[in-house]
Amino acid sequence: MDLDKLISEAWMAYEEAKKLLDEGDLRDAAEKAWLAVETMRKAIIVAAKIPYEETRRISIALPIFNSILIALGEKKFLDKYYTFQSTLHGMSFYEGLLNEEAIIMYVRDVEDWLSEAEGVVKRASKVNATKLLEPAKKRVRIKSEIFI
């Protein structure tokens, strides 16, 4: 998938999340906001020369994403990604444990993260992460052999 299309889709998902917030559908707003974050995660990885198909395999893509952001010195940005994973995807959508104010706060925080992510995409485009792909695939193969 094209990098610009991924970025556009991330923003469209976020706009849908805001609409759902306005309608009072907090659970689905949280999940749409998470979709926006995940789509931008894919954009960052694609910018670093990893094929889109690999961004969809989380067991391969997530270690690569981590490595890219660490190499770029983006620890706080990476921390926020994991905050969204926990709050929006886990605690809000799946568990239904966050209160209304927390969900609204985290959904709104996604907008700033997406804006920041566009700069990260530009910086990631100067990175060639293809050397990370084979070790990530090997790790998955070894894990599958261990847990047969």
Nearest to 45 by CA among 36, 33, 58: 58
Q: Is pLDDT of 147 > 90? A: no
- At 114-136, the pLDDT tens digits run 999 999 999 999 999 999 999 99
- For residue 40 the two structure tokens come to 């931008």
CB 28 within 8 A of CB 105: no
Helix (H) or strand (E) holding 64: helix 58-71
What rounded mean pLDDT belongs to the chain?
A: 93
pLDDT (0 to 100) of residue 100: 86
- At 65-116, the pLDDT tens digits run 999 999 999 999 999 999 999 999 886 766 666 688 999 999 999 999 999 9
Cα–Cα separations (whole angstroms), residue 55 to 14, 105, 121, 139:
19, 28, 14, 16
Q: Give the torsion through C-alpha atoms of 57, 63, 68, 69, to 10 deg.
A: 110
- For residue 49 the two structure tokens come to 């020369």
CB 1 within 8 A of CB 50: no
In sequence order, what are the residues at sequence separation of 6 or more whose Cβ sits closer than 8 angstroms to the Cβ of residue 107?
Answer: 17, 18, 21, 29, 30, 33, 88
